[in-house]
Amino acid sequence: MKIGELSTLTGCSVQTIRYYEKEHLLPKTQRSEGNFRLYDDASVEHLLFIKRCRSLDLSLSEIRQLLELRYSPNAPCDEVSHMLSSHINHVRARIEELINLEDQLASLLHSCPSQGTVKKCEILKNLTATQKIMS
């Protein structure tokens, strides 16, 4: 199959597929006479693996490592879980940050009744004056 079909089968855009090839996440394929990339079922599989990893927010370089492991059947598998658990730690840390942010933003929003003019806006005052926000 050509790149367009791979694209519709996997839901990755054509440009993204070419980009993955350039980044060595996909191996270079055979080409047709007219220099079109040719793919097979294994390519679909391979690309879907990448897509699932991306949907878990793994970086391309993490995925590259996973792909290497995937094709090294006798490697110890704890590398895989190690990577995943460090990744989950990042995610958890980011969640903490965002929840904190949400609190700050909510306090800031409550601090101003949103009537009147900017001159008296408590939000802008709070952004100007202090790191702490009074709610």
Which residue ranges make up the site for DNA (CB under 7 A)?
2-5, 7, 13-16, 18-19, 31-37, 54, 59-61
CA distance 29 to 21: 9
Name the binder of 9 from its own copies, DNA, none, CB < 5-8 A by kind: none
Check if the beta carbon of residue 111 is closer than 8 Å to that of residue 126: yes
Does 124 sit near its own copies (CB under 8 A)?
Answer: yes
Name the binder of 32 from DNA, its own copies, none, CB < 5-8 A by kind: DNA
Check if the beta carbon of residue 39 is closer than 8 Å to that of residue 6: yes
CA distance 121 to 112: 6
Does 92 sit near its own copies (CB under 8 A)?
Answer: yes
Question: Residue 123 CB, nearest distance to DNA (Å)?
Answer: 19
